Amino acid sequence: MRIAVIDTGAGNLASVLRAFRRAAGEAGLAAAIDVTTRPEDVAAADRVVLPGQGAFAATRHGLDALPGMEEALREAVERRGRPFLGICVGMQLMAERGLEHGSHPGLGWIRGEIAPMDPVGPDASPLPLPQMGWNGLDLAAPSHPLLAGVAPGEHAYFVHSYALRGGAAGELLASAGYGGPVCAMVGRDNLAGTQFHVEKSGGLGLRMLGNFLRWSP
């Protein structure tokens, strides 16, 4: 099995690689997991991962700076049906557009836009941003294969100040509470994305990465 992890210059690549390799080892799966900037590696991959951290615009620009990469990504994911996982800003790029540092087009794979958060606490005072730390998950689609073995309320690790707004209910797989519900995970068909850093989410994250490696949508 070959997994291509796309390097846009804005991802937490070392942690992603360590987590995937550990998850593959624990699942007993033989997997070649490689970071790449080459479209031909994405074309040859059995699964594709798009990590990201920081700003939507930077990740979008990083993707655009790789000649042929978006075309290879769309060919692999849209037309050949390869399983895809977006992580943090990689998940955000799945949306129609992002509003961080201007308006920037996303991949258009899920409905909605990535907009600034404005969380308030029970006393109506603003909550700090970024949302940083561990938050429990409310599972909207507990039967999704990537959520196998994940219990409602288990905690995942978040670091973000922008979140999906206006998404389709059928594409929301999980949410978290931070001054109201916040999209934590989206998916449809062979696509999945986590707003939280699945690679930094301990045992929950390793289970989900193992599920992704076994996933046959």
- Which residues are catalytically annotated? 88, 197, 199
- Give residue 166's region: left, alpha or beta (phi > 0; psi -120 to 50): left
Strands 113-116 and 97-98: parallel
In the numeric block, the tokens 């699964």 are attached to: 47
Residue in 112, 78, 77, 63 with CA at minimum distance from that of residue 92: 112
- Cα torsion 202, 35, 104, 75: sign: negative
Q: What single DSSP character describes residue 178?
A: S
Please name the amino acid found at residue 135.
N
Sequence-distant (6+) residues with CB within 8 A of 100 are 55, 56, 57, 114, 116, 162
Burial (CB count <10 Å: 0-12, 13-18, 19+), residue 87: buried
